[in-house]
Structure 1
């Protein structure tokens, strides 16, 4: 009997297995049918609990079977389900998508990331309730997005990141539970590794993902903002610094971060960059963070403080400017005075400038003339008895020690005429309107007692208008108007020496900058004056601040044409090698520059770091003489250069497409190259002379086969006997490769 019972039990278990297997098969059939229904667009299949539990696994199995199109179709339907008006339907769809994302993460599958990111972005923008599964799916969403960032699937994640930011920032209104969870997602995503990855692409001008990286960086939240500011304040490259500033929003959070940074001792460039950020919000309350650095030991920081105060503006601007005027380095005062000149007629500004003129003997000799010249020009627009009296004293002093060509004497005389004419005009206006006050009349009487202004109250208006000096009066007015217009704009904010050469100076520490700047000499040259002559052996390095300088290899030579030097150009003609000057440098108009001569270089003899940085900069930027050497001693490369001309004014140049002609590279260095190109052999083609200053784009190939796009400008040219042109091209930024072949040259 026992044996029979055992057989019976075995038979029952076998029957159960058969039934279970049969049920599994029927369930699989039902599951497949429902999957096909969902893939066909039916959401109602999700109403079956059994289907929902196993659907994601079945869908992943379909993917492994190679039917991704069916999986994508099913995901589209699930996307509709997750946004369904019925809450229960949304929760079922969330469960399926959540399980499917988990399977993808476990198996490191990324093919569906874009589709899933789009579905989740659409759902989050529409969901109003904290439904079942919300916290689970958002946690998986964060893991998926982290993976997408690491893999460079930035465009695929962009829309979802924007939606998360809009909700977490409150721009899109959601309940607090949803907002809090998405804020956590945003903060967890905005780690330093992700920020650094995105910044590397954003700051790379050749990156194909630059715009996407910018979008993600501006939507990743407060942690990323902190990382961006940390990077910005340490950034020494000017272009990158301005790119980073564009990522920083104008918010109190930013200034709290900066305030915390400034609590610690920082290098000069960190402080300078903090000042730039603080001034970007035009918030007067931020002045208290900026003002303490007006007396910083590094003049570059002082310069930025001044710029920041001007930018912030506000009702207390004048008070702040007057305070800073007495704090900043004397070398910054000429430019500062020129900017104060824009505040015409302000009595307090006029009094402060007049006081400086009275105390002119206290300023150091090396900067005194510049300060006095600025005061003599600008005080014309701040007339007062004290100003007139001191201007007269200045004129008498300068006449005793200088001739009529003295620029300070000339400026003071012009300013005196302006103030005299202003007094006459005001008196005439008072008499015409009969509205002049007794106080104003006394002012003019006081002036006339000094012999500086005619006693207008004793002269009939008709007499004044027809005075024998009418012609002289009109000439003075015309001259002074021209003079005032020129002087007011002589030193705009972004044209002072420190601003022009900020990229160069950024490489120096505070001590190095102070030492180098002290070794420079400020020089001015009038039109036609030689800065250097061919064959000179004097070692001089010119940093041109304003004006134009003509370069010629021989007097009256027309064979080699060189680009004029302008503000921001450095030239020293093998300054460190001590080679003779290979060309003449002549001022085309008034030229201002700072010069490092042999004596100045000797002052830096115990500053090897300065000399090294200077030498490296010259290697890349002071290259005209090196390019000229390539004309004399060409080293042709074997490769032919493809020539593309998009400049209609240079039609005489033969191109590779039109004329089947190619050019040849005669030599190249980091800072530029010499290239020979085919051209029509017309000797009287005026447009040839326009080729200087032409922008070019070139593709360079290094020895490892890597290509680099470099922009430059034609800095000179020479015509050969065969009609070809040899172009001297200076790169805007040095190329990375020490040795390269030129593949393509495009004239823009």
Structure 2
């Protein structure tokens, strides 16, 4: 009985197995059939549970049966579905890739694993939803990535996933918080100590063929990798290793910031702080300023220097204010560096910072005292204010008592005043015209005009966008006419040009507007001005006449008020409209009267047309009104009116009696005898702070005295020659026998030779007189 039951059970089990095997064969045949359709492009099959549930196992069996290449091809076909818009298709494709990776991981077949890996990476980069199987897929990615990182041959394959993970961590690739959190954990879990050590050693080995691959991987392994690298940097004994690490770490991006902040909290040695500051500078993020700012006052100057370099790199538009903040905190040596930087930036805050530092000069260290004061004086050349002039005069008086006439501080302060004082006078001059109330009103309404122009331009843009060019043109024309009638010529010309821009065919309207503007300009010029300067204006066209008039400033001076002082740098022409002006010069240490200027006379020919400092002084002898034409404003007219300079120069030279008067007074003679000599000399220009340039240039010495010299050089244009005025220069004269005479001075004039428009004579005044014996040695060189 029992035997029968046992036989029956075995028969039943066998029948079930036969059925099961048959079902498996059926499923296998069905999956094979479906797989063929799938590989032919039918992605919708992945939405069928039966096919999707059995696909990974079927592919594993194919692999075991030796169909390796077919499996790789099907994996890549599955990879096309990981970005499908249908969530079920996307989920099933990712799930099958994950399952197959699990089946084949132990096979150690890296080519197949790389195919699975590449398609999972593509999915991670593009997936926006936390789909079913997300965690399993990440787990498989982790296993494959770690396996690939263990073999240098496959490091380059891992770059893809690590770059994607780092971009997700940093927000470059946007993901929701759930996905981002899981992928950041995946990134950090890859950075184990063994892998980090292997990667770092490879990166530090300059001969390694995969050095750059190791660099990329380390930069994308996240926070743990940064912590490891910072710790390695702190304990590195070799300079070469430290240099390579500080170059690498910033490549990890903003994940570095909290790590370096924690590092600084541990109060590391100065060299670690310097390296950390360098790393922050390489991140080039202005918001990190507050991290480095406290180290401006670090006791080690090398740290301070690195902080300044960092500030210069990351600050952008905030550089000026941050350098000003750093100025009182850094050591004197670095103060000089900041002074030279902010001196070129100008602005009230710069002036205030320099003046504040100048007032604290008693605290300067002795070894930097002179150089600091010189650099402050030079940097103040761009600050024509009453406070600056007063402070410099105070400094000059102070130095007169403690230093000689060739003291560098005295020289720098006086040179700066010779530039600042004329600028300050022009800047503070109250300009009046016979139409004074109109000018005041226009100045008061300056901002309103700007706002009005902007509103007009906005209205025009809207009309143009609507295609209504005729209405836009009419509006521009009428507003331009109104501006011209109101003497607002800048606005009128701007609107005229805008009309031509939007409608190039409106030539007649543009020409008529030009005529109206010129008519209004002419009508606003006073009869008195025309009468006084009628001879000058007879040489000019109406357009030249109007342009010259509006390029000039009207200045008024009271009795005994200085207009120009000898030695000043002020390339301007002064036209006397009314009043009397006393012209004087210095001769034998006393003031010599030269001439009394009256309305209709012009002065300043040398400084304006040649290149020289003022050799005479002008003082108002009564209430005096002048028109002043600066070289800067005149240059703006040159392109439009190329013949204007020749006409103006001809007129001015006919009335220029200053050279003759200087000869008659004897003041054109140098303080010391001059000796003609014709030898080659070498010259080096110094920057405003007294530093020698990299290149020297040859010149031909014309004459020399104890107090100065003159040499000729070739210069391509007069405007380039103007750039030499006021520059410090060192001239070297070879006396023979290995002896070099060095003469340090300032260029006070550059004149062109009439027979050669590119040959100029450069006049130099020495800061310190040279010995007579040296002068004679130079003279005897030509014999």
TM-score by length of 1: 0.52
Matches within 5 A, 1:177-576: 177-191=178-192, 193-194=194-195, 197-198=198-199, 209=210, 216-217=217-218, 219-227=220-228, 240=244, 243-244=247-248, 246-249=250-253, 251=254, 254-278=256-280, 286-311=288-313, 313=315, 321-322=323-324, 324-344=326-346, 346=348, 349-350=350-351, 353=354, 363-383=364-384, 384-393=388-397, 396=400, 400=404, 410-423=411-424, 425-426=426-427, 459=581, 466=603, 470=607, 474-476=611-613, 486-487=687-688
Higher Rg of the two aligned structures = 2
Distance (whole Å) between structure 1 residues aligned to residue 98 and residue 52 of structure 2: 11
Distance 1:12 1:120 in 2: 45
Deviations for 1:376-397, whole angstroms, at most 9, x for unmatched residues?
4333334533233135336646
- 1:93-172 to structure 2, matched below 5 A, reads 93-152=93-152, 153-165=154-166, 172=173
Distance in 2 separating the partners of 1:285 and 1:86? 43
Secondary structure of the equivalent of 1:326? Answer: coil
Cα separation, partners in 2 of 1:369 and 1:28, compared to 1, 3 Å: same
Q: Is the 8 A contact 1:341 1:488 kept in 2?
A: no
**CA distance in 2: counterparts of 1:345 and 1:128, whole angstroms:** 51
Task: Tell me the SS of whatever aligns to 1:380.
Answer: helix
Q: Distance between the aligned counterparts of 2:342 and 2:305, measured in 1?
A: 15
* Structure 2: gaps of 5 or more residues: 444-554, 584-596, 616-631, 633-682, 695-735, 745-783
CA contact (8 A) 2:226 2:249 kept: no
Structure 2 distance, partners of 1:332, 1:167, is: 41
Aligned counterparts of 1:219 and 1:445: Cα–Cα separation in 2: 75
Find the aligned partners of 1:343 and 1:445 in 2 and give their Cα distance: 36
Give the 3 Å change call, closer, same or farther, for CA 365–450 of structure 1 in structure 2.
Answer: farther
Contact 1:338 1:491 in 2 (8 A): no
The structure with higher relative contact order (CA 8 Å, sep 6+) is: 1
Which whole-Å deviations, capped at 9, do the CAs of 1:185-210 have from their partners, x for residues lacking one?
23323455555555556666665556
Confirm or deny: 8 A CA contact 2:328 2:357 kept in the other structure. no
Q: Shift of the alpha carbon at 1:267?
A: 1.4
Query: How has the CA–CA distance of structure 1 residues 11 and 232 changed in structure 2, closer, same or farther, with 3 Å as cutoff?
Result: closer
The Cα shift of 1:109 comes to 3.1
Q: Distance in 1 between matches of 2:151 and 2:558?
A: 77
SS of 1:486 mapped into structure 2: coil
Cα contact 2:97–2:120 (8 A) shared by 1: no
> How far apart are the structure 2 equivalents of 1:248 and 1:277?
10
Q: Secondary structure at the match of 1:332?
A: helix
- The whole-number CA distance in structure 1 between the counterparts of 2:164 and 2:182 is 13
Q: CA deviation at 1:411?
A: 3.6
Q: Secondary structure at the match of 1:115?
A: helix
Check conservation: 2:250, 2:283, Cα contact below 8 A: no
Shift in Å, 1:101: 0.7
- The two structures have a TM-score, normalised by structure 2, of 0.50
Q: 1:46 to 1:106 in 2, by over 3 A?
A: same
C-alpha separation in 2, matches of 1:233 and 1:443: 70
Q: 1:217 to 1:429 in 2, by over 3 A?
A: farther
Distance (Å, rounded) in 1 between the aligned partners of 2:602 and 2:33:
105
Asked whether the 8 Å contact 1:377–1:484 carries over to 2, the reply is: no
Which whole-Å CA distance do the structure 1 matches of 2:306 and 2:88 have between them? 60
Which residue of structure 2 lines up, in the alignment, with residue 75 of structure 1?
75
Q: Spell out, residue by residue over 1:688-713, the C-alpha distance to the aligned partner (whole angstroms, 9 max, x if none).
A: xxxxxxxxxxxxxxxxxxxxxxxxxx
Give the structure 2 partner of residue 604 of structure 1: none
Cα deviation 1:364-387 (Å, max 9, x = unaligned): 443333323323433333453323
SS in structure 2 of the partner of residue 63 of structure 1: helix
* Cα distance, 1:182 vs structure 2: 2.8
Number of residues paired by the alignment?
Answer: 491
Tell me if the contact between 1:60 and 1:103 (Cα under 8 Å) persists in the aligned partners.
Answer: yes
Q: CA RMSD in A?
A: 5.5
More helix by share: 2
In structure 2, the CA distance between the partners of 1:399 and 1:414, relative to structure 1 (3 Å rule), is same
Distance 1:589 1:453 in 2: 22
Structure 2: distance between partners of 1:13 and 1:175: 52
Alpha-carbon distance in 2 for matches of 1:410, 1:60: 90
Q: Classify 1:123/1:12 alpha carbon distance in 2 versus 1 (closer, same or farther; 3 Å).
A: same
TM superposition shift of 1:341: 1.8
**C-alpha distance in 2, partners of 1:21/1:135?**
34
Q: Decide which moves more: 229-238 or 70-79.
A: 229-238
Which residue in the other structure is 1:711 paired with? none
CA distance in 2, matches of 1:72, 1:55: 14
For structure 1, which runs of at least 5 residues remain unmatched after alignment? 496-554, 557-583, 591-748
Question: Post-superposition shift, 1:300?
Answer: 0.8
Q: How far off its partner does 1:299 sit? A: 0.5
Maintained 8 Å contact 1:121/1:159: yes
Alpha-carbon distance between aligned partners in 1 of 2:203 and 2:416, rounded to the nearest angstrom: 51
Shift of 1:233: 7.3
- Taking a change above 3 Å as real, the CA distance of residues 83 and 385 of structure 1, as seen in their structure-2 partners, is closer
TM-aligned CA distance change 1:38 to 1:489, over 3 Å: farther
Indicate if the aligned counterparts of 2:686 and 2:692 stay in contact, CA closer than 8 A: no
Equivalent residue number for residue 657 of structure 2: none
Q: Name the CA shift for 1:458/1:228 in 2 (closer, same or farther; >3 Å).
A: farther
User: What's the offset of the Cα at 1:40?
Assistant: 6.2
SS, match of residue 247 in structure 1: helix
Which stretch shows the higher mean deviation, 90-99 or 31-40? 31-40
- CA distance in structure 1 between the aligned counterparts of 2:234 and 2:690, rounded to whole angstroms: 31
